[in-house]
Amino acid sequence: MRKLVLAASMALLTACSAPQQEQLNFTPRAVLSNSNIVNNATFSLTSKDVRSAQYVALVDSGRSNIEPIHSKQNVRIALENALLEQFQSQGFRSSVNSENSVTIEVQELLVSIKHSVMENEMDAKLVLELTAETPQGKLVKTYTGSAERNGALSASNSEIELVLNDVANLVLREVANDRELQGYMQERF
């Protein structure tokens, strides 16, 4: 029994001392409205992440070494919270038992980084599908944001975070300014 406890302790200490993989801060910012378009219209909000892989960045240093980097935050939850805040600023209210629903589907979020000692190229893309559904029907919209950035030297994590968050904020701004979506939710919710 003593040997088992000692072996388990060693395994635990070894796991704790293993180097932790780098992670990025994913902090999308909601675009807040100055005025309500509705007054307490309710909806339920759900989201899903259908990306094939959970990393948010792929770093290619050109030496047959491609390193994935994950987000510290849950991508689905971060985007759901930002969109919820946006809708609430427009006068909508989240409710569990509403007959109106908004579903967010994260289809793609990735920053591809190719870098060497002298330069870096970053390409970011976010694809988000939003479905607003009522008993009278539904509206499905796909929002796509992309960003490119080139720089000298290799890309730092803070530069990758900047591009990652910029592309998310671009898509959130597109959702906030979508008159068709606002009109649909305003009329039917």
Q: Are 160 and 24 in contact (CB under 8 A)?
A: yes
1 assigned to some structural domain: no
Residues contacting 121, CB < 8 A, separation 6+: 113, 114, 115, 148, 149, 150
- In this predicted structure, the answer to whether residue 56 has a pLDDT above a threshold of 70 is yes
pTM of the model: 0.81
pLDDT (average), residues 21-28: 87
97 assigned to some structural domain: yes
Q: Which residues pair with 145 in a beta bridge?
A: 126
Say which range, 35-39, 108-112, 119-123, 144-148, has the weakest mean pLDDT.
35-39
Question: What pLDDT score does 130 carry?
Answer: 96
Highest mean pLDDT among 55-64, 126-135, 152-161: 126-135
Question: What pLDDT score does 65 carry?
Answer: 80
Our measurement of the distance from residue 122's CA atom to the centroid of its chain's CA atoms, rounded to an integer in Å, reads 17
Q: Which domain holds residue 82?
A: 22-188
In the block, tokens 């971060």 appear at 78
- In this predicted structure, the answer to whether residue 17 has a pLDDT above a threshold of 60 is no
9 assigned to some structural domain: no
133 assigned to some structural domain: yes
- In this predicted structure, the answer to whether residue 98 has a pLDDT above a threshold of 50 is yes
11 assigned to some structural domain: no
DSSP β-ladder status, 119-134 and 101-115 = antiparallel
Please state at what angle helix 75-89 crosses helix 157-176, rounded to 10 degrees. Answer: 40
Question: What pLDDT score does 5 carry?
Answer: 53
16 assigned to some structural domain: no
Per-residue DSSP letters for 100-121? -EEEEEEEEEEEEEEE-SSEEE
Higher pLDDT, 62 or 66: 66
Question: What pLDDT score does 119 carry?
Answer: 82
Q: How many CB atoms lie within 10 A of CB 11?
A: 10
Q: Are 125 and 109 in contact (CB under 8 A)?
A: yes
**Quick one: pLDDT band at residue 8, thresholds 50, 70, 90?**
low
CATH number for the domain spanning 150: value is: 3.40.50.10610
Say which range, 68-82, 94-108, 148-162, has the weakest mean pLDDT.
148-162
The domain tally of the chain equals 1
What is the average pLDDT score of the chain? 86
pLDDT (average), residues 24-42: 86
108 assigned to some structural domain: yes
Q: Which amino acid is at 113?
A: I
Listed in sequence order, the DSSP H helices in 21-106 are 75-89
3 assigned to some structural domain: no
